[in-house]
Amino acid sequence: MSATETSQVALELIDSPEIRQMRETVRSICLSYGRAYMRERSEAGEPASELWNALAEKGFLGVNLPEEYGGGGLGMSALAAVGEEISAAGCSLLLIVVSPAIVGSILVRHGTEDQKRDWLPGIAAGTTRVAFAITEPDAGSNSHQISTAAKRSNSGYTLHGTKTYISAVEDAQAILVVARLRGEDGSLGLPGLFLVDSDAAGLERQHIPTALRAPDKQWTLFLDDVEVSAERLVGDENAGLAAAFDGLNPERIMGAALALGGGRLALELASDYARERKVWRDQPIGSHQGISHPLAQAKIELELAKLMMQKAAVLYDSGAPAGEAANMAKYAAAEAGIRCVDQAIQTHGGNGFALEYGLTDMYWGARLARTAPVSREMVLNYVAEHSLGLPRSY
Ligand SMILES: Cc1cc2nc3c(=O)[nH]c(=O)nc-3n(C[C@H](O)[C@H](O)[C@H](O)COP(=O)(O)OP(=O)(O)OC[C@H]3O[C@@H](n4cnc5c(N)ncnc54)[C@H](O)[C@@H]3O)c2cc1C
């Protein structure tokens, strides 16, 4: 899409009645499970399947995907609204970032017709859950340096390598793995995307315990000559990093959405507490500007970040370049969300540290957004280079 066409994409600043209704229903489903349910699932080390299924039944997990493949046809703008609402109700699910947003979006843009028919209806219905694996221990933020290799075989490809910090594999039927094609001379070429069954022979996984208080787990994956049939290569061998990036922009938009939702919840909890808590005379602590101003500031930053998230989603849905806006949205939402949770903890005084108040449960979820899916520094690198035309430093 050209710059002129891009400038004609319209950003709706007010939710349509359809999106408003969707937000309310998602919120009420999530509140019927609530933060206690999420804590219980997290402590049990089990996925939040009941909540996932309840959202899936109403079609909310596939709102972004095209109607002809069983989705809602409403694009990333709608899925971001779902992500924001689940998180604002204290029911954040990492799998919603991965399966419908990353994998669903990549299949829509780069899958063959057969792949779309085989995979998208299940992803839209929430019955097929697909994890996404790009990060590697030795490549880290530099996804051009990944070394997981895909070697052509008689039936398709043989995958070999290690992935790390891969979310929700325990609850996924398949994983979309980014691997580089190995040439005849042994050299590693362009990356390709491969749909690998999570119980494929040769695929082992090791749990990475983290501080996150969420049901989804993180894994290191060891692919030891995993056989993948030719029809599991998404798109073609030349789809490359461009295809992966068509999933990473939705990932950034959803990262922003979850961060915004968490920030909203933190501000709600902090404001409720600050209206009630009295420690000097008969005044609630919320009447002190030392408490109210930082909360007001956090609220402004949150709303600004939300605008950028909406812009990124509209650009993505229209097919316009969305990288800059998606990166900026993720950055702004992460920083705003962290500030909201930190200020909610401060507002609660000592109670901010008590498990009973749930703020400590929220802290690492909010903090994650500064590191993943793309780190704060890599967003700043992107903006410095692409938005400001500054020389690349690495
Ligand atoms: C809970 C969780 C879930 C995740 N889920 C997934 C998933 O489902 N799938 C997946 O593929 N990955 C996933 N990740 C991985 C995540 O995307 C990476 O952790 C993240 O991109 C950072 O990469 P890294 O950990 O290798 O850090 P590194 O690349 O080692 O970076 C370490 C630090 O150095 C900084 N740095 C690196 N390069 C530069 C540079 N050029 N300039 C300035 N600073 C730099 C980084 O910003 C960071 O602060 C997840 C991570 C976490 C923690």
pLDDT for 237-263, tens place per residue? 877 778 888 889 999 999 999 999 999
What distance in angstroms lies between residue 141's CA and the mean position of ligand 1's atoms? 5
Going by CA atoms, what residue is nearest to atom 26 of ligand 1? 140
pLDDT at 223 over 60: yes
CA 116, CA 295: separation in Å to the nearest integer? 45
Check pLDDT > 70 for residue 3: no
Determine the atom of ligand 1 nearest the C-alpha atom of 212: 1
pLDDT at residue 276, as a whole number: 97
* Gyration radius of the chain's alpha carbons: 21
What residue type is 180 in one-letter code? Answer: R
Q: Which residue has the tokens 């340096």?
A: 145
DSSP labels, 117-186: HHHHHHHHHTSS-EEEE---TTTTT-GGG---EEEE-SSEEEEEEEEEEEETGGG-SEEEEEEEEEPTTS
Question: Which residue's CA is the closest to the ligand 1 atom numbered 22?
Answer: 141
pLDDT value of position 7: 54
Torsion of CA 20, 25, 26, 29, to 10 degrees: 160
Q: Which domains are present in the chain?
A: 3-129 (1.10.540.10), 132-239 (2.40.110.10), 241-387 (1.20.140.10)
Check pocket membership of 374 for ligand 1, CB cut-off 6 A: yes
- Report whether pLDDT(357) > 90: yes
pLDDT score for 2: 45
pLDDT digit string, tens, across residues 57-100? 999 999 999 999 999 999 999 999 999 999 999 999 999 999 99
Distance in Å, CA 140 to ligand 1 centroid: 6
**Run of H or E including 82:** helix 75-88
Query: Residue of the nearest CA to atom 38 in ligand 1?
Result: 141
For residue 88, the model assigns a pLDDT of 98
| 166 pLDDT more than 50 | yes
> Residues 135, 163: contact at Cβ < 8 Å?
yes
For the Cβ of 378 lying below 6 angstroms from any atom of ligand 1, the answer is: yes
Backbone angles phi, psi at 222, to 5 degrees: -110, 115
- Kindly give the number of the ligand 1 atom that is closest to the alpha carbon of 375: 47
Residue 157 pairs with which residues in a beta bridge? 152, 228
331 lines ligand 1 (CB under 6 A): no
User: Please, which residues have CB within 8 angstroms of residue 210's CB and are 6 or more apart in sequence?
Assistant: 218, 364
Please determine, for residue 204, whether its predicted confidence score (pLDDT) is greater than 60.
yes
Q: Which two tokens stand for residue 94?
A: 């990492």
Give the lowest-confidence range in 13-17, 201-205, 311-315, 329-333.
13-17
- Atom of ligand 1 lying closest to residue 97 CA: 8
Report the separation in Å between the CA atom of 253 and the middle of ligand 1, taken as the mean of its atom positions: 17
| Cα gap 244→380, rounded to integer Å | 20
Q: Is 166 in the pocket of ligand 1 (CB under 6 A)?
A: yes
Number of residues assigned to the chain: 394
How much distance in Å is there from the Cα of 373 to the middle of ligand 1? 7
Q: Answer yes or no: is the C-beta of 181 below 6 A from any ligand 1 atom.
A: no
Residue 5: the pLDDT is: 52
| Exposed e or buried b per residue across 342-366, where buried means at least 16 C-beta atoms within 10 angstroms of its C-beta | bbbbebbeeebeeeebbbbbbbebb
Averaged over 136-157, what is the pLDDT? 94
Please give the Cα distance from 180 to 152 (Å, whole number).
11
Question: Is 6's pLDDT higher than 60?
Answer: no
- The CA distances from residue 251 to 26, 178, 375, in Å, are 20, 15, 13
Atom of ligand 1 nearest to the CA of 137: 26
**Are the C-beta atoms of residues 208 and 165 closer than 8 Å to each other?**
yes
Q: Whose CA is nearest to atom 45 of ligand 1?
A: 377
Find residue 150's DSSP bridge partners.
Answer: 159, 181
DSSP 193-241: EEEEETT-TTEEEEEE--S--SS--EEEEEEEEEEEEGGGB-S-TT-HH
Whole-number percent of the chain with pLDDT over 90: 90
- Residue of 165, 198, 378, 383 with the most ligand 1 atoms within 8 Å of its CB, for mutation: 165
Beta-bridge partners for 181: 150
Cα–Cα distance list, 325 to 37, 65, 103, 161, 201 (Å): 34, 21, 20, 32, 40
Ligand 1 centroid to residue 370 C-alpha, Å:
10
- The residue contributing the CA closest to ligand 1 atom 21 is 374
Q: If you take atom 7 of ligand 1, which residue's CA is the nearest one?
A: 166
How many angstroms is it from 163 CA to the middle of ligand 1? 12
Residue with tokens 């990932």: 251
Q: 376 C-alpha vs ligand 1 centroid, how far in Å?
A: 9
Task: Show the tokens assigned to 370.
Answer: 């500064």
